[in-house]
Structure 1
């Protein structure tokens, strides 16, 4: 299959390697890139906190850029949204990384259960977040009365690819499948000129979504070919191919 990957780098290249190993032809078209706020993360780590929560592997990779300032925090418990984030946190040197292996709601429920078993933390949980993001994680912690502080560690900046690059990726030939990892990338994809001008060209393309929330950004005309992964992780998404 010819599979279009919309992820930002370097995640896009890692996904491409997996797809090639599975025998697929891979096309990369990044529609966003991360901008890290290292100073905000350093300042946040300097304030008192009981644990650190992350809902993106992008934050975990950011840890590797902090340097020696991170060393005194490596015994802090990390609550991580999924296996990719957890692995990245472990690679950064954190000793205790807990993950439910699901999405933000699952992570919040795990923290709620942890607080129920061990008591409310004396200091707030430091939530290192991205922008844009879903608010379900923060909403659930607030409902449970768990103290936390949100600090935006990075933001995703849109990339507008050249028309020639877009047409090469989308029309030469039309992909058999597109992988959507985020609602924002799905929304940006359907605004690209080839989709906006003649969407009928893509009515045979599989729209494969990481979660039901991501699938909400797919226009109704593509509903028949929209498939949601059984779990919100890359392994489940690639299993749809």
Structure 2
């Protein structure tokens, strides 16, 4: 029996490796495709720090960041995975909030309170085209100036790999992992298009947040398990709960 991972390429393979090391059979069906967008920032732009809520924002911008003055700025990352992508892109001073956007906002404010960041600091927000919350507005209300630069967008994938369809029809999939509301919706659209909706909704669906879980429940999924915190280790724990006899 297999676990289906719906993350985009790159992240999906890393998740698959982690699951295989835990003894799971894994199938991949990336439900979103990364499309990098043109990004250019002047070397003399006046920023005090960079904030990032997605590793994809860094992956998309990395070719254009090589040797850039922005790499000398402190970067605040939403979590450890994004922090690792920032270091790979060349940022030397990387601080991880080890949580979600709320934790990132709190980290930025704490650095200002500790006088490690100017009171009215200007922040460059490297972001995706579709944002689940207005982090820039929240930090703006707190006295920061936030300049948002969109470096990528995620395009829904309309179908499933043939081997995944075959696995559904053979009853070989026992759980699906979901990491975002958009990828969950793309998954639902894909299984409907393939005529697999009934069998797919009967499986265990493990979701990284309550918002993602709501998408599956609204679609009629009968076994939806939510991670206790928005990180992959908690999601793996949710998977273990879902498959527990």
> If the length of structure 2 is used for normalisation, what is the TM-score?
0.86
- How big is each residue's C-alpha offset from its partner over 1:18-55, in whole Å with a ceiling of 9 and x where there is no partner? 11111111111112111112x42x32665221100000
Partner of 1:29: 29
**65, 73, 85: which is aligned to 1:88?**
85
Q: Judge conservation of contact 2:217–2:224 (CA < 8 Å) in 1.
A: no
- How big is each residue's C-alpha offset from its partner over 1:190-227, in whole Å with a ceiling of 9 and x where there is no partner? 12244885643235411111112222211336465111
The worse-fitting range, judged by mean Cα deviation, of 105-114 and 18-27 is: 105-114
In structure 1, how many angstroms separate the alpha carbons of the residues matched to 2:22 and 2:170?
A: 21
Partner of 1:161: 159
Q: Judge conservation of contact 2:168–2:199 (CA < 8 Å) in 1.
A: no
1:50-199 matches, within 5 Å, as: 50-66=48-64, 68-70=66-68, 72-118=69-115, 120-121=118-119, 123-161=121-159, 164=162, 167-194=165-192, 197=195, 199=197
Q: Judge conservation of contact 1:79–1:111 (CA < 8 Å) in 2.
A: yes
**What secondary structure, in the 3-state scheme, does the structure 1 residue paired with 2:173 have?**
coil
CA-atom RMSD, angstroms? Answer: 2.5
Q: Judge conservation of contact 2:5–2:16 (CA < 8 Å) in 1.
A: yes
Going from structure 1 to structure 2, the CA distance change for 1:212 and 1:129 (only over 3 Å counts) comes to same
> If the length of structure 1 is used for normalisation, what is the TM-score?
0.87
Going from structure 1 to structure 2, the CA distance change for 1:76 and 1:177 (only over 3 Å counts) comes to same
**What secondary structure, in the 3-state scheme, does the structure 1 residue paired with 2:182 have?**
helix
Partner of 2:15: 15
Total equivalences in the alignment:
238
In structure 2, how many angstroms separate the alpha carbons of the residues matched to 1:239 and 1:44?
A: 44
